[in-house]
Structure formats: structure tokens, C-alpha cells
Amino acid sequence: MDRKNFIKTSGLGLGLTLFPIMVQCQDAGGNSELSVNIGPKIVKDGEGETFKVIGDIQSHKLIGAETGNQIVEWVSDVEPGVGIPPHIHTNEDEIFRVVKGQVEIMVNGETTILNEGDIAYAPRNLSHSWKVVGTEKAKLITSAFPSGIEFMFAELAKLPAGPPDFEKVSEICGKHGISFV
């Protein structure tokens, strides 16, 4: 039997046709909500929804509803000394790209300095952290996949200004599969 007939007669063709549609109907939490806007998108440097998340100014460029819940990407504009302590994601992997400045990053116990143009990958279930070092602001592009973490950032952005209440931050992050170590 040739491949084309096998796919037609085995039902595999129907499964392969329906699988992308079923994936698009699942958000990171497994809820069935159809992602409608899965077309191309151009986002200019100053565009995107901006969140102030515990000292990190994030401009969200792509979110799950626009990518079939595959990826969320944001640009951070961060002052020297600002960072995120060691934590573990259970739901998503992250990629960090330094566009400007210097960022010290730790992934799974290994620490390095990222300079302009450098990239780091932090897979889920491994401890990682980052902090802006040096004297200038850093511009950092972060991608997380699959999407869903954008909901956590929206919730964190609603916290009052000033020093963060670490207990409240931990509670919010915990609801989204992130724990501090």
C-alpha cells in the first residue's frame, strides 16, 4: 500500500488534519478556549502592551492568543541591579536574548555574563535567575513556550508599587507553576 492510501484508509490523515486545530484550542492550563488570531503580526519597537512587573518594564510583543498558544515574547527594559532570584518553571521553557547592556544569568547552577547579542536557554524544571549588571540599563528579549506566563505577569503588574511582597509574589507565581528556590 502506498503512503497516500495508508493515510486515507487508516484515519491517520484525519488525525493529522485535526491535531493542529485541537492544539490551538488548548491554553497552557488545558482549558478549551479557541485562539482566533493566528495570523502574521508585525510589532514595532515602541509597540506592545506594557507591564511594570517588580522593577521589570515589560512590553509584550506576542501572546498566546496570537500564536496558537505556542509562544509569548516580551522585551524588558531593566535598570542595573534589577533581576529575578533563582526559580523553576514547570510549564514553560525560556530563551533570553540580550539586545543592550549586560545580564548575569544562572541556569542549573552555571553562571555567566551575557553581552549584547548573546542568548541563553533555560528549559523548564531547571533553576535559573538573571540580574542586570554593569552601569547601564539592559534591553532583554525573552521568549517563553508554550504561552501562558503572560497571565502571571498581568497579575503581578497589579501589585502595588514599592518593594514587592515576596509572599504575595510567590503565591501568584505558584499558581502559574513557578517556584522560588
| Residues 62 and 23 occupy one common structural domain | no
Residue 48 makes CB contacts below 8 A (sequence gap 6+) with 59, 60, 61, 74, 75
Tell me: the pLDDT tens digits for 1-56? 554 554 455 454 444 444 444 444 444 444 444 445 688 999 999 999 999 998 88
| Residues 149 and 61 occupy one common structural domain | yes
Asked whether 181 and 88 are in contact (CB, 8 A), the reply is: yes
Looking at the predicted structure, is the pLDDT value of residue 125 above 50? yes
| Residues 135 and 112 occupy one common structural domain | yes
Lowest mean pLDDT among 50-54, 62-66, 101-105: 50-54
What's the whole-number average pLDDT of the chain? Answer: 85
| Residues 134 and 54 occupy one common structural domain | yes
| Residues 24 and 60 occupy one common structural domain | no
* Cell numbers placing 171: 503565591
Q: How many domains in the chain? A: 2
Residue 4 lies in a domain: yes
Average confidence (pLDDT) over 155-174: 93
Q: What span, in angstroms and rounded, lies between the C-alpha atoms of 109 and 74?
A: 25
Residue 43 lies in a domain: no
Q: What is the span of the domain harbouring residue 19?
A: 1-34
Looking at the predicted structure, is the pLDDT value of residue 162 above 70? yes
| Residues 13 and 79 occupy one common structural domain | no
Q: What are phi and psi of 39, to 5 degrees?
A: -105, -175
Q: What span, in angstroms and rounded, lies between the C-alpha atoms of 163 and 66?
A: 33
Q: What are phi and psi of 82, to 5 degrees?
A: -85, 140
Measuring CA to CA, which residue among 1, 40, 24, 34 is closest to residue 146?
A: 24
